[in-house]
Amino acid sequence: MRRLLLAVFLMVFAFCGYAFAQEKDFIVIGTTDKIVTLDPANAYDYLSCNIIQNIMSGLVDYKPGTSEIVPALAEKWEVTPDGLVYTFYLRKGLKFADGAVFDAKAVKFSIDRVFKLNGDPAFLLTEVIDKVEVVDDYTVKIRLKYPFAPFLSVLAFTVAFPVSPNSYNDKEFSDVGIGIGPYKIKKWTKDVELVLEANPNWYGAPPKSKMVVIRFYENAQSLRMAVEKGEVDVAYRTLNPEDILDLKKSDKVRVYEGESPVIRYIVFNAKKEPFNNVDVRRAIAYAIDRSMITKRVFRDTAMPLYSMIPMGMWGHVDVFPQQSREKAVEILKKVGYSEANPLEIELWYTPTHYGSTEADVAQMLKLMLEATGIIRVDIKYAEWATYVEYFEKGIMGFFLLGWYPDYLDPDDYMWPFVHSSGSPSLGSFYSNPKMDELLLKARQISDEEGRAKVYEEAQKLLAEEAPYIPLWQAKQYCVAKPEVKGILLEPTQIFRYYLIYK
């Protein structure tokens, strides 16, 4: 009874924290995701970046609902004919959430800080930027090491967002979350609740809701219960496929569905036996039936994928084969495997990071591979922190991963995966000078048609050598109360809280 009374008191106290705001002035968003860090120099997971996208902004942004790059903290920019120097003309009179002045020095400080701290997403800038120069208080030049066609798209990603020099230093990461965005942090209780309030220093239109409360739920089941009890106005990431289908039948909520560039795939450690044999990788690729996964596990809330570049993005070509068990067996027998001498492998997955369906995916892959009669699969798993350590150190040879876009360009789905400088970070350790040459060439071509031709050749080489196997492309889903408006499911995967209201 004493515990019950305490729980009731805490609930009342929490509610009273928002008593000053009318119900229509704030939105409650429920999620099963977790914030890892709110430092743009180190954030490289979905929710951390999405929060940053609502409390900070970059020199450029995507026009809401599109992949078009538009001015943000920079009013305009110029690019030299050789594509090596970008000059940005900054908005004047802006202040960070802590009151510090926004100017060219702050832009240089922020990018230089990314270089010095060298966090997870730093390579997006360090591989292409030569140096940043302050021309005057509101003009900054960024010199590149080589022409890089998607550079503006990279600047629209959180790693390039300016932070306040008064609240950050270049010696350590920080979660203070001080930038220039439509919201600023009012309160953060890690893994419990994050409260955002409208930022008076924001230069754009005021947020549609004065406050956003983000509540963190342990799993899809608890998030669904919160939806059904009306505890949240919006549920975004992640409900189970069955939840989505059931809630579509309800007249108490509205289910939003949108296209998504999120992909899921298998990684091979190309340096680890037996996956250092390209024939083994190709045989496994032939043995997998993507449609069975998307239908049975995801109930058609995902789509089979046959390239690492997602469907709907320019440059995409279906290059991986449809399932052929016979072809898989034929290849394996040629390299010495048989019913008497089976290929014995471990398949790894992580049980919570990608949701509760991950174990089902692993079991289905095991069934498909063992249906060849000459593959034996032992399923292993590890929680996310250990999982990342394992694949970065090359411990795992065959495992499941997923990719959320940093920037909307085929480069983001090829360079980190199959360029020799990027592949170790994803645990594949794949390296091919021909692939490196193609990807660098594609970066330096200015026109989309010319780049698409190079990416087609690169994707074909990827399918031939199969250091990865694309499995499916996700769809975006969001569940909200009928009175909630302004929800926009974008191709960029940016979920803009400041457009939502009721």
Domain with residue 304: its CATH number is 3.10.105.10
Domain assignment present for residue 365? The answer is yes
Does residue 2 surpass a pLDDT of 50? no
My answer on whether 323 and 436 are in the same domain is yes
Peptide bond into 238 cis (omega under 30): yes
pLDDT of residue 16: 47
pLDDT digits (tens, 9 = 90+) for 121-154: 999 999 999 999 999 999 999 999 999 999 999 9
Do 411 and 295 belong to one domain? yes
- Phi and psi torsions of 359, nearest 5°: -65, -35
pLDDT band (50, 70, 90) for residue 353 = confident
Burial grade of 369 (CB within 10 A; 0-12, 13-18, 19 or more): buried
How many angstroms separate the Cα of 500 from the Cα of each of 21, 226, 276, 486?
16, 19, 49, 4
Structural domain harbouring 112: 57-160
Same domain, 154 and 285: no
Q: Residue 489 is encoded by which pair of tokens?
A: 């499911």
Contacts 24+ apart (CB under 8 A), 22-26: 23/502, 24/209, 24/501, 24/502, 25/209, 25/210, 25/211, 26/209, 26/210, 26/211, 26/212, 26/213
Q: Are residues 446 and 323 in the same domain?
A: yes
Q: Which residues pair with 469 in a beta bridge?
A: 266
* Structure token pair of residue 265: 């795939």
Which tens digits make up the pLDDT trace of 173-185?
999 999 999 999 9
Q: Are 145 and 129 in contact (CB under 8 A)?
A: yes
pLDDT at site 15: 45
Contacts of 197 (CB under 8 A, 6+ apart): 183, 184, 186, 210, 211
The SS3 of residue 101 is strand
Q: What integer pLDDT is reported at residue 22 of this predicted model?
A: 62
pLDDT of 413 over the 70 cut? yes
Inside any domain, residue 18? no
Write the CATH number for 151. Answer: 3.90.76.10
Residue 80: Cβ within 10 Å count? 13
Residue 11 lies in a domain: no
Tell me what pLDDT residue 356 has: 85
Query: Is 33 a member of any domain?
Result: no
Q: Please spell the DSSP secondary structure of 281-349, one letter per residue.
A: HHHHHHH--HHHHHHHTTTTSEEE-SSSSPTTSTT----SPPP-HHHHHHHHHHTT--SSS-EEEEEEE
Residue 19 has pLDDT above 60, yes or no: no
Same domain, 155 and 268: no
Mean pLDDT computed over 76-82: 97
In this structure, is residue 172 part of a structural domain?
Answer: no
Judged against a pLDDT cut of 50, whether residue 187 lies above it is answered with yes
Tokens found for residue 72: 């943000």
Using the 3D structure, point to which of 143, 160, 177 is the last residue of a domain: 160
Domain boundary at 105, 140, 160, which?
160
Residue 419 inside a domain? The answer is yes
Per residue in 271-303, pLDDT (tens digit) is 999 999 999 999 999 999 999 999 999 999 999
63 confidence band (pLDDT: 50, 70, 90): very high
Q: What is the pLDDT of residue 97?
A: 96
Position 6 pLDDT exceeds 60: no
Closest CA to 52 of 241, 180, 210: 180
Residue 194 belongs to some domain of the structure? no
Q: Both 287 and 142 in a single domain?
A: no
Rounded to whole angstroms, the Cα distance separating 176 from 41 reads: 12
Q: How many domains are contained in the chain? A: 2
Pair 294, 439 in one domain: yes
pTM: 0.90
Q: Is residue 121 part of a domain?
A: yes
Among 160, 186, 210, the domain-final residue is 160
The beta strands (E) that lie in 121-192 are given as: 129-136, 139-144, 183-189
